[in-house]
């Protein structure tokens, strides 16, 4: 069983690394936001599926954020226990991908697709 557990861990490490590499390859460097971070904040509800409006995320500016930071906070269902750092990726897209240890601590080994960890904001 020990060898199986090690093999499973090694496979997850490879998947996380591939996912993070894919996300990081999209990230703009030396880039400024087209918008102020507080314009992204709010409560966002799902509008599709069997039960529209039954799920939401809160997007906030962290209280201790400095002027150099380009991060927001993502909270699923507004819960403190479901708080994730939302980092700017490009344009109006942010990401909240976790490394292996963060995923293990939070038991979030669910999806390895980089798109799962992206949030795109649409402004009309």
How many Å apart are CA 108 and CA 24, to the nearest integer? Answer: 20
111 in helix, strand or coil? coil
Share of the chain above pLDDT 70, in %: 90
Q: pLDDT tens digits for 32-55?
A: 677 899 999 999 998 887 777 788
pLDDT at res. 35: 86
Domains, the chain, ordered by start: 2-120 (2.40.128)
Q: What is the pLDDT of residue 25?
A: 84
40 and 72 Cβ atoms separated by less than 8 Å: yes
DSSP for 22-61, written as a single string? HHHHH--SS---SS-GGGG-EEEE--SSSSTTS-EEEEE-
**pLDDT value at residue 110:** 66
CA distance 96 to 99: 10
If you ran DSSP here, which 8-state letter would residue 66 be given?
A: -
- Among 78, 79, 120, which Cα is nearest to 96's? 120
3-class DSSP state for residue 121?
Answer: coil
Confidence category of residue 63, pLDDT binned at 50, 70, 90: confident
């Amino acid at each position: 069983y020990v060898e199986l557990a090690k093999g499973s861990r090694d496979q997850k490490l490879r998947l996380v690394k591939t996912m993070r590499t894919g996300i990081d390859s999209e990230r703009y460097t030396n880039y400024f936001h087209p918008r102020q971070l507080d314009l992204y904040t709010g409560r966002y509800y799902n509008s599709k599926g069997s039960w529209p409006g039954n799920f939401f995320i809160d997007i906030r500016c962290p209280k201790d954020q400095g002027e150099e930071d380009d991060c927001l906070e993502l909270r699923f269902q507004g819960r403190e226990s479901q708080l994730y750092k939302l980092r700017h990726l490009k344009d109006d897209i942010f990401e909240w991908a976790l490394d292996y240890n963060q995923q293990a601590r939070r038991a979030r080994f669910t999806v390895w697709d980089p798109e799962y960890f992206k949030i795109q904001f649409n402004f009309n």
